[in-house]
Structure formats: structure tokens, C-alpha cells
Amino acid sequence: MADLEDPGAAPYGNFPNYYTFHPPENRLSLLPPGHLLELLNRHEKGEGPLLALDVGCNTGVSGGIIRGCFMITHELSIGLYNHLLQPKGSSEALPDVHFLCCDIDPDLITRAKTGNPFPDSITFSSLDIMDPSSLDILQKFLEKFGQARFDVGFCMSITMWIHLNHGDHGLVDFLKKLTPLCDYLLVEPQPWKCYRSAARRLRKLGRQDFDHFHTLAIRGDMTEEIVTILTRHCNSQLVHRFGNTSWDRSLLLFKNRSTKLPS
């Protein structure tokens, strides 16, 4: 696990105190109550459980360690769960929502499990989404509910870490892998300035640079690059832009073109 005092020691974005400097509320405030459910066409009752996949969930629920004390707060995974289960200000509630939240760092997942307030509805799993064996875990979760796909997948500030560690082909393969598994994808790409910052942190620490940073051909306006990959190579269409967070990251909702909407 990354050194708590050293944010540069998190080469996969597995910062142990991530939500202290990127508060979940800044993302959730961009999602109007009930609007995401309407776009997912899951705002009516009686349609069965809504299944969600959160890739790169970090701790999901924990806020950090202060003087050796573990401080529990409701972070992004929990915030997204609550947002879908019972939209604030809405009288409509889904009967059942189940999340599978995964992260490459087993220590972060251990912390998430410890602080999970909804263990019957939210499952935290340590897995490398780029490992082919991860597909078995995702499919077993779906099979448990008798569904072929997740209703929605969340990729919140994860694309850069996939890109830096697996290169251009890895980024495309990642999005190609998730697209057939989800009816919708909500993606928050990191801008190119974040790539430079991540590489600069490693250099400042005297560590080896990211293997692919200097050879990436996909660069520049990463929001539009992600849109291009998903719409041209992943059988997806962009259905909504929710705006930008206070740290200048876009929230983009994509629909799998194979998804059939209810009449």
C-alpha cells in the first residue's frame, strides 16, 4: 500500500486519503436528483434490482487515518449508492440496488469492507480490472442476480491510471472490456495536466517514470479522446454531459448501443 505521507507513491492512483482532496460531493452535486435514474430508464418500480459496477473505488467508504484512528465517512461509492437508491428530494425509490466495487489495492479494499455500512447491498472486491481473470468475478456477480450486464458502470478518475500503466492499447482495451458488461457508463476522465502532474511526482521522488508516459499517442484533450474511443471503437453513444467538477473533470454518460430501452 502507498505510504500515507507520500502521494507520489501511488502509481495506480491508489491514494489512501484520496477523498480528502477530491470530495465525493463535488461529483454528486452535478447529478440532479432522479435524473441519472431517468437516463438509465430505471426510475419505475418493479423492474428488478439495479446492478452497478464501480471500477477503481479506492476505499469507497473511509475518510482517512488521523493520529492512528480510522475515520469512517460516506465516500463516493456510498454516495453513488444512496443517489441511486433514494434520490434526494424524490419520493420514488428503487426496491433494490446492488454495487460491486473493485480496486487493485487490497489494503484499500480491506478498509472499505471494514467501514461498509451496507454489506448486503455493496460488495468490495480486490481485483486488477486489466487481468483477464477479473472477468470471471464480474460475471459471477451478474449471474447471482440472473442478469447479463450491469445497469451502470462508474469509472471515476481511473482512465489516466489505466493509460499510464498500460499504454494507448491498454486504455482502449479497458473501455472495450467494460462496454459490453454495462448498459451505461459514467466516466470521469482526468485531463492531460493530471498526467504531467503524476509523472512529475514520480520524478521528484527519484523514481522510475511511467513506462508509457513518453510514448502515448492519445493525449491532449482527454475528455474528447475518451468520447472518441467509446463512440468509434466501443459501440457506445454519448447521451449526457453532466458538467465539470471544481477540479475541471467532466462527467460523461455513455449508453451501450446494444442496450434495448423499454417501450
Predicted pLDDT of residue 31: 86
Q: Would you say residue 2 lies in a domain?
A: no
Q: Would you say residue 263 lies in a domain?
A: no
Closest by CA position to 174, among listed 223, 128, 108: 128
Domain that holds residue 112: 7-256
Rg (CA), the chain: 18
Name residue 29's amino acid.
Answer: S
Calculate what percentage of the chain has a pLDDT beyond 70. Answer: 77
Predicted pLDDT of residue 60: 47
Q: Would you say residue 102 lies in a domain?
A: yes
pLDDT digits (tens, 9 = 90+) for 45-75: 456 789 999 998 765 454 433 333 233 334 7
Predicted pLDDT of residue 112: 87
* Separation between Cα atoms, residue 149 and residue 159, nearest integer Å: 21
Which of the two residues, 26 and 224, has the higher pLDDT score? 224
SS3 (DSSP) at 22: coil
Predicted pLDDT of residue 3: 42
Number of CB atoms found within 10 A of residue 129's CB: 20
Predicted pLDDT of residue 250: 92
**CA 63 to chain centroid:** 17
Number of separate domains in the chain: 1
pLDDT digits (tens, 9 = 90+) for 75-104: 788 888 988 886 655 555 566 899 999 998
Calculate what percentage of the chain has a pLDDT beyond 90. Answer: 49
Q: Which three cell numbers stand for residue 159?
A: 482512465
pLDDT digits (tens, 9 = 90+) for 206-221: 777 888 999 999 999 9
Mean pLDDT of the chain: 81
pLDDT digits (tens, 9 = 90+) for 164-187: 999 999 999 999 999 999 999 999
Which of the two residues, 166 and 34, has the higher pLDDT score? 166
Which of the two residues, 202 and 88, has the higher pLDDT score? 202
Predicted pLDDT of residue 115: 85
Q: What is the 3-class SS of 48-112, one letter each residue?
A: CCEEEEEECCCCCCEEEEECCEEEECCCHHHHHHHHHHCCCCCCCCCCCEEEEEEECCHHHHHHH
Which CATH number belongs to the domain containing residue 159 in this structure?
Answer: 3.40.50.150
* Separation between Cα atoms, residue 239 and residue 241, nearest integer Å: 7
pLDDT digits (tens, 9 = 90+) for 108-144: 889 889 889 999 999 999 999 999 999 999 999 999 9
**CA 1 to chain centroid:** 19
Position 205 pLDDT exceeds 90: no
Predicted pLDDT of residue 131: 94
Lowest mean pLDDT, pick from 217-221, 234-238, 248-252, 257-261: 257-261
Residue 176, classified by CB atoms within 10 Å of its CB into exposed (0-12), middle (13-18) or buried (19+), is middle
Predicted pLDDT of residue 88: 58
